[in-house]
Structure 1
């Protein structure tokens, strides 16, 4: 369950122990949340099914501790070793820019106070409890007709 204004989710191996159909349904649900709330999800999956793979907007490949990023789907795939890929990226202007940016220590004074979490929970526990209770209450009210009518049928049958 996702509660609160989450803009970024990091999900690791969510498909472990699940069949491909269940994994597809979960990823489809996350995709809908991402597109409706303009959020970002970084999800790791081990060998997803093709229909699940097609749900992703972007793919990052990890190999031997290195990131491999295949952006141009119009060209045929050709194997590039991890070392070759890492060296090519470091020579690329984006790689050089990132290396320059990461070489300078981050100045924490420039951080916006709202960007950092200073509490264990970003949403107070009472508010989380209230949201969960409200959700359960709606489900109880929604299904109450069936519950009470089921009880009525049982009582009517016991009088027979």
Structure 2
């Protein structure tokens, strides 16, 4: 994982609290003065990165990084998944949200106060890698299904 230390007078920081674990999206990064930079602020991210919280992974603090947050710096509490071309970013996002990955990685949690998993647990997990065209089809179907669920949810409110 690439590291990047904050520079300038202030920076935008994504910590675990900046993820809405119901919408699985980044809410508002903290605009932080450089002198107040937490030591955990060192994960480089880019458009299409998937942030996966290694602390209490069962809470599913997982988000796909959109372009507007690509210059932020993330907490070391995240594993930053970046595509090397083998996985389409949206497919990688839906894959990391899947019970197969979340429940599978939960078995490796250690610690009582802040149970967490390690980067090796994530890197050594087996991930299904269909052809890119199939990944795009799966992602398209997932977005359509989630949109329909959202519309149903809105109509019930």
Would you say same fold, with TM above 0.5? no
Greater Rg over alpha carbons, structure: 1
TM-score by length of 2: 0.28
The structure whose residues are more often strand, as a share, is 2
